[in-house]
Amino acid sequence: MTESIPEDRIYKELREFLDGLPGGYPATDSGVELRILRKLFSPEEARMAVHLSLEPQPPSVIAERHEMGDAEVGEMLESMAVKGLVFRIREGDEALYQAAQFNVGFYDFQVKTIDRELAEMIREYMQSWDTTVADAATRQFRVVPVGSAIEASHAVDTYDRVRDMVREQEVIAVEPCMCRTEQRLMGHDCGRPLENCLSFGGFARYYIENGWGREISKEEALGILDLAEESALVLCPTNTKEPAFICSCCGCCCGVLRRLRSLPNPGEVVASSFWSDIDPDLCTTCGECLERCQMDAVKEGDEFMQVDRARCIGCGLCLSACPEDAVSLQMKPKVEAPPADWDETMARILEERGLS
């Protein structure tokens, strides 16, 4: 039998376990991170979660560590997967389970069950620490230009061409944006579309199976990208050549973009390949680019608009709105290719944090 562990201690152990995953889960002075865990995990689920790893494994392997029967462990893990507390993938008829970090992870998987209490706790927690995990150079997300800003260029890698990324996918799901869902619960509605976060492959199947998202065609996914561009949303895929998902983010609701916007140099912190550049001979200072920029990177000069490269994240929203074609995207002088896939991104972050 599993050793009996006091309830207070198991939540602290779960907090420490989660902090050892790539995205981190540091403690706060207020203890709000423990209140979040208590709301989402029962004591039994918390005890189970700390026996998982980032490697997908069958219940029989996990049962050996947890000292419970295979069937009992399998039943609990499936229940936790349905609640979005652990991640599930399928290999044929076999279900495999792995640990879900906080973000991107079990926080995002609460999109259909989040209430105001959880939303307020999440906001308090997000304000207390750097969600980019500052001690890792590799980011979980990157920024890619909106479709019309890059479609005409032939010298850009596929991982920066968002429409090509989508065209290559076999399974696509769309789900509500967690950040705008959370903000609406707290009385803030920016008016932008809600159902426009895309997931692919294993992530898409997980959302579809759990009823949090719906499967869509490539054509519908491309239409969602067009609507995101029209709505001045920043496209943030996973920092990978093969995307696991693409978020459509606004600077007013997205926790990551809000954090970036508060920094003096978001353009130097975010993973992206481009800067915007404005041609002074073509610019008429109409202000369209100023209105679209989510990072306050565009400044109004005496005779033309100017881009602060320390703030520009290369999203291309200014370019797609310019009626004079005065804006272009310039490749940064030092651009590194992103990791191949999500597993490699996670492995890099763990190594950089000294946890591998």
CB of 235 within 8 A of CB of 248?
A: yes
pLDDT value at residue 1: 42
Distance (Å, rounded) from C-alpha 132 to C-alpha 354? 16
The partner residues of 275 in beta bridges, in order of sequence, read 330
Q: What is the spatial distance between Cα 318 and Cα 330, in angstroms, rounded to a whole number?
A: 13
Closest CA to 40 of 95, 87, 102, 99: 102
- Length of the chain counted residue by residue: 356
HSE-up of residue 161 (Cα within 13 Å, Cβ side): 13
Q: Which residues of the chain have pLDDT under 70?
A: 1-6, 129-135, 151-155
Question: Looking at residue 131, what is its pLDDT?
Answer: 46
CA angle 220, 254, 181 (to 5 degrees): 65
pTM, entire model: 0.93
Number of Cβ within 10 Å of residue 158's Cβ equals 12
Tokens, residue 206? 């997980």
| Amino acid identity, position 275 | W
DSSP 8-state symbol, 218? H
Q: What pLDDT does 135 receive?
A: 67
Domains of the chain: 7-126 (1.10.10.10), 147-260 (no CATH)
The CA-atom distances, in angstroms, between 170 and each of 167, 173, 204, 205, 350 are 8, 10, 10, 11, 29
3-state secondary structure of 83: coil
Q: Are 77 and 97 in contact (CB under 8 A)?
A: yes
Residue range 307-325, pLDDT digits in tens: 999 999 999 999 989 999 9
